[in-house]
Amino acid sequence: MTALEKGAYYTGEYRNLFKELGYSETAIQAKLEQAWNDLLHGDPDIRIYYPMGEDKGYFLDTGNVDVRSEGMSYGMMMAVQMNDKDIFDRLWNFSVTYMQHTEGRYKDYFAWHCKTDGTRLSQGPAPDGEEFFAMALFFAAHRWGDGPEPYNYAEQARRILRACIHQGEDGNGGSPMWEPANKLIKFVPESPFSDPSYHLPHFYELFALWADEEDRPFWREAASASRTYLHAACHPETGLSPEYANYDGTPAEVQRHGDFRHFYSDAYRVAANIGLDWAWFRQDPWQVGQSNRIQRFFRPVDVAAYRRYTIDGKPFDEPALHPIGLLATNAMASLAADGQDAGYFVQLFWNTPLRKGERRYYDNCLYFFSLLALSGSYRIYA
């Protein structure tokens, strides 16, 4: 077994798929730095970061004109990967000041969206934010060191994870973000179902090293449970998964806020998450075939023709809301894929610019994560 066959966590070696296609280190680094600069300071129809006062800033969901725990935690992960402590701390300051609850049923959770002045639009949390906040904070602690509160990054991360699995035990009426019976992440704390794109076993493996000692066995079990869950949530022929799925992997029922039984925006992230889990840990050989399947499904489809799909692959007469985001995750699947389509998607992604316009936020977040991962720059800081 070669070093790369063991995964980056064990070897410290990260594949650079752009370099494998013949691009120079200089060109790759320049593309990465230019994209980061564009997200932070670029033209008004590209940028998604906005400073606030002397010590805060936020990533704007440009399609909904609000600030989301998803985007704030994503931005922090991007910043720590780019070694940009100023942006990281500004995003964290905004998040901890305006979004994190200090009491009640959601104590230590983050309100999932708010206005740009910090006024909360909803009190409830979305667990994908919490897991990205925690992972970004641990990486920050290991890369830059801890400082005074709220820059005691590692303790802040442990505090979030403590709430994620123990919320409600003190009688505050809250609920944990992971279902205790099966160790699967929930869509929201009160829901009896999951979101396949929330499952990040590669994060849970690291939480099992750095969370409170008594909770580490839970996170090891959660990593295993999530890998198994994704087998059930992804269609065995198309590789597509629903946005919301029951604990057995079947599409969840239609919700009062919409129909999420199909392959649409949330679900794009599954391919990226599987690719990164394989790149870091290589624990589940199924991930290779799964990544080949989803790339095989999309190979004949032009990006401009991406649609909403049933999980068995039937297209709706409804265009994808975030086609560049979907391309980015299809490309990121190449971290695990070994089929003939892997190079095609990496090349197509390289030749595709950041999205412009009203709906750019989600696409460009997924775009930047893919750029990090495919350049070997999405790394574990331990």
Active site residue ranges: 70, 266
CB atoms inside a 10 Å sphere around CB 352: 15
Closest CA to 372 of 3, 13, 79: 79
Q: Which residue has the tokens 């309100």?
A: 111
CA distance 198 to 210: 20
Output b/e per residue, 6-20; b: 16+ Cβ within 10 A: ebbbeeeebbebbee
Alpha-carbon torsion 109, 213, 4, 283, what sign?
A: negative
Q: Are 175 and 104 in contact (CB under 8 A)?
A: no
Q: Cα torsion at 353, 356, 361, 364 (round to 10°)? A: 0
* Half-sphere exposure (Cβ direction) of 336: Cα atoms closer than 13 Å: 29
CA distance 361 to 70: 11
Question: How far from 330 is each of 43, 77, 293, 297, 370, CA to CA, in Å?
Answer: 26, 20, 11, 10, 9
Question: How far from 59 is each of 63, 65, 84, 108, 325, CA to CA, in Å?
Answer: 12, 10, 15, 21, 16
* Half-sphere exposure (Cβ direction) of 371: Cα atoms closer than 13 Å: 27
- Tell me 184's DSSP state: E
